[in-house]
Amino acid sequence: MQLYNTLSAKERAELIEKAGKDRLTLSFYKYHHIKNPQIFRNHLFVTWDEMDVLGRIYIAREGINGQLSVPADNFRAFKEHLDSITFLKDVRLNIAIEHDDKSFLKLKVKVRNKIVADGLNDDTFDVTDKGVHVDAEKFNELIEDPDTILVDMRNHYESEIGHFKNAITPDVDTFRDSLPIIEEDLKEHKEDKKLVMYCTGGIRCEKASAYFKHKGFKDVYQLEGGIIEYTRQVKGKDLENKFIGKNFVFDERRAERISEDIIAHCHQCGKPCDTHVNCANEACHLLFIQCEECAEKMNRCCSEACMEVVALPYEEQKALRKGKYKSNNIFKKGRSEVLKFKG
């Protein structure tokens, strides 16, 4: 029984092109107490691998978080399988606004301590005791209320290219960084303000809503389905769109454009731009914003030092990378001294 991916991303991309079939990019999550995450993980991998499902799925004792690419022809079978799992029956699926058949090129199902790393070690905190979910129409009403505080629960590199008007956008690298900062900044308003939160698909602000309720905030709300579902409802119900710019996504597409506004700038020259790229030097792989002119000038690299590495024969590049430790502590997203317009 095969329990792990055996194809490279390149091999998978070639198979997708050869098949010539449409694929759907989607995401879902569910907080639920899972007794044996490893057994559940193996069951999902075997079943979804047979359906040619690709993506990144995290499973923990607190629930499941999935970002997937599913062949359109297999979507019904995939949905029926989800519905056969008691706690996932009728779970909301966030279907991408813009599709890319190569949004994911491997099936990775991993067991983690938590589906959203929060840095918390508090047995009295119940992640299922969440805030009030609101749809796009109610959300638009709430954020116009002067007694509302609107908070973006995403990271700095996400909100940099797009966010809701008048939202607080914490300058943080991770979700776990944001929780104590927001609690400290808003501690004077636990009783007198409505705390409204949003994120990409809902998973982070759902945990945050439960956390802030646990910390004594009385009136807590979250945007149901996040920015993805908000955009769908705005279009479907002809509502006013209050999101400006792009919605950052964690797959090969990098982002979905929600409005025509460009609110960010190239990290190398400063001109208006909201296109995220990864440095072409695989030993760096820094995520940053780069315009087309700088991409051509810098050979899709973040620095001259990386340009020198990329110019080397590939085997020499591999030799330079050998034995070097990679971690998020070293390769910060969107933060580097080499980026003139982003520190």
Residues serving a catalytic function are: 199
Instruction: Check if the beta carbon of residue 129 is closer than 8 Å to that of residue 213.
Output: yes
Q: How far apart are the C-alpha atoms of 160 and 169, rounded to whole Å?
A: 8
Please give the structure tokens belonging to residue 249: 């996504």
Q: Are strands 148-152 and 194-198 parallel, antiparallel or unpaired?
A: parallel
Give residues with Cβ within 8 angstroms of 142, minimum separation 6: 134, 148, 194, 196, 221
Give residues with Cβ within 8 angstroms of 239, minimum separation 6: 136, 137, 140, 233
Q: How far apart are the C-alpha atoms of 146 and 225, rounded to whole Å?
A: 24
Give residues with Cβ within 8 angstroms of 303, minimum separation 6: 279, 284, 336, 338
Geometric angle at alpha carbon 232, from 60 and 170, rounded to 5°: 60
One-character DSSP codes across 199-266: -SSSHHHHHHHHHHHHTT-SSEEEETTHHHHHHHHHHHHTPPP-EEEEEE-SSTT-EEE-SS----B-
- Grouping H, G, I as helix, E, B as strand and the rest as coil, residue 282 is coil
Write the single-letter amino acid at 305. Answer: A
Q: How far apart are the C-alpha atoms of 229 and 261, rounded to whole Å?
A: 20
Distances from the Cα of 23 to the Cα of 7, 17, 53, 74, angstroms? 18, 11, 9, 9
Instruction: Check if the beta carbon of residue 50 is closer than 8 Å to that of residue 125.
Output: no
Q: How far apart are the C-alpha atoms of 289 and 304, rounded to whole Å?
A: 16
**Which residues are 26's β-sheet partners?**
68, 95
